[in-house]
Structure 1
């Protein structure tokens, strides 16, 4: 019954549980919140919809795992060694099955800095080749940035590269699950992947999809390509359930509204600004009020507008 109730909540796509103002929802753990079962066998510990801080221990993304019946598959290494250990403790409270595989959804710190813990357990760590390249190039600076905010909570964390990489897809048949790690194309950051469970019609989207917090546009985020990847590869999955990179599980309509539609909206605003002869200084302040209710709006809206302007100026 609880799964039917929660499934209904997913389809409603409520934002009621997300807030930047809640410092920690699980004080007994470094995890920001306790993992719960989204659908049978699939669990997620939902991170803060806020920037990484000491208070949330860098758990500002979703750390998910699948109990297959023949072993556990973890999605995201976590932002620190101790955070990965805290997730493993929760996994052990749910099942006696060993962790057999870890996926890094991209090359960002909250996906990869806990890899060292999983490597110590002898667990293979899989990522897209581009994500592994990001860790190889920038791992030191990513670690230093985490150490600055996480201080003593960064103890034990070292840069650990993925142990296996792939280019297009990495498919695992384990227990009751067919688990398809797919690189659908350019999106939020280099090496973004989704984890698609076709039998369950559930996608762990990673940073392909956002809905409760505003998506960040990085210097290397190509928004036109992200939209194309969405329309040609992500939307056709027609997933019934979406566990996004940040924020609570929801449905495709919600993430479409706050990811693809936001990208289209912002590009249209910048296009109109360029057509009117506007420059970068004014571009930061194009109207984004329809999305002002999203967490991290204040931190990201102007940056996003400036980066889209810089892209579109030369398209």
Structure 2
């Protein structure tokens, strides 16, 4: 039997905590002796995650602002996310070696963003196979030079040794990563946050390493090509039916489905409702930036993202 190691924080407790929180980009590093923002924590008997900062990438967090997870089996380790740099990938590998003697046999990139794939070069040097969704691989091929330049600008010496390395193999809908008697399903449930969003599902444990389809503790960012209506549809029709009990989101601490639904799907629904009403009233793009999002103002990165998200949803909904 598996068991939950980390206590999950319920929605009610989070609401109380959020009322006293102040959203800020200035979030201190929790693990200064390592390039990692924080030391990996054990979530279940076989799943660990190094929880990233709920802030933009900075010199202090070295781009570790997403969750770097791994699954320990009796026949090897599966890592979810190549990390934002060679330095971060190496630091994560050091932590894995301190936990288990099992070798890392597979790396899964959860999307095509730099903090999921720029560490691939380190894993390639270790002879580890790297897998990603075909759309994530295509996005990385287009955006990797800019992502690497950004890393070099904020991480400075922390970017040394980082090179652009594409995944070894891609998949379309699902990939079987089962290992050591553990069923590990790598899924693309549908369009959500960014092209090729990938979820890693452990059905026997009802544990979902959700990637950026799910957010917690920080405001989610939207991109020019994000389809928010598609994201909600994927959530309702494909994610919820999995029946996950433990969720490691792309950003924020492990929790449950109720909590990530509040900060992801419910946020998207609320913003779309506000923008829809604004459009019905004849409002324009300039006014859309100021629709009321105060319900979410205690989330980290609110100040950086709220108005941008509103503008992107207006552009999406204006001709729906």
Question: What TM-score, normalized to structure 1?
Answer: 0.96
- Write the mapping of 1:204-243 to structure 2, written as runs, cut at 5 A: 204-243=209-248
- Write the mapping of 1:1-315 to structure 2, written as runs, cut at 5 A: 6-7=6-7, 9-11=8-10, 14-15=13-14, 20=24, 21-315=26-320
Shift of 1:159: 0.6
Residues 291/11 of structure 1: CA separation in 2 closer, same or farther (3 Å cut):
closer
Q: Secondary structure at the match of 1:126?
A: strand
Aligned counterparts of 2:70 and 2:4: Cα–Cα separation in 1: 20
Q: Which runs of 5+ in 1 are unaligned?
A: none
Preserved contact between residue 11 and residue 258 of structure 2 (Cα < 8 Å): no
Shift of 1:175: 1.3
Preserved contact between residue 208 and residue 248 of structure 2 (Cα < 8 Å): yes
Aligned counterparts of 2:167 and 2:13: Cα–Cα separation in 1: 35
Preserved contact between residue 182 and residue 193 of structure 1 (Cα < 8 Å): yes
Preserved contact between residue 10 and residue 241 of structure 1 (Cα < 8 Å): no
Shift of 1:22: 3.2
Deviates further, 161-170 or 135-144: 135-144
Residues 186/13 of structure 1: CA separation in 2 closer, same or farther (3 Å cut):
farther
Aligned counterparts of 1:6 and 1:35: Cα–Cα separation in 2: 11
The Cα RMSD (Å) is: 1.7
Preserved contact between residue 13 and residue 250 of structure 1 (Cα < 8 Å): no
Aligned counterparts of 1:128 and 1:73: Cα–Cα separation in 2: 16
Q: Secondary structure at the match of 1:181?
A: strand
Q: What count of residue pairs does the alignment treat as equivalent?
A: 313
Residues 262/12 of structure 1: CA separation in 2 closer, same or farther (3 Å cut):
closer
Aligned counterparts of 2:171 and 2:190: Cα–Cα separation in 1: 13
Preserved contact between residue 77 and residue 118 of structure 1 (Cα < 8 Å): yes
Shift of 1:27: 1.1
Shift of 1:36: 1.2
Q: Secondary structure at the match of 1:82?
A: helix
Shift of 1:10: 4.0
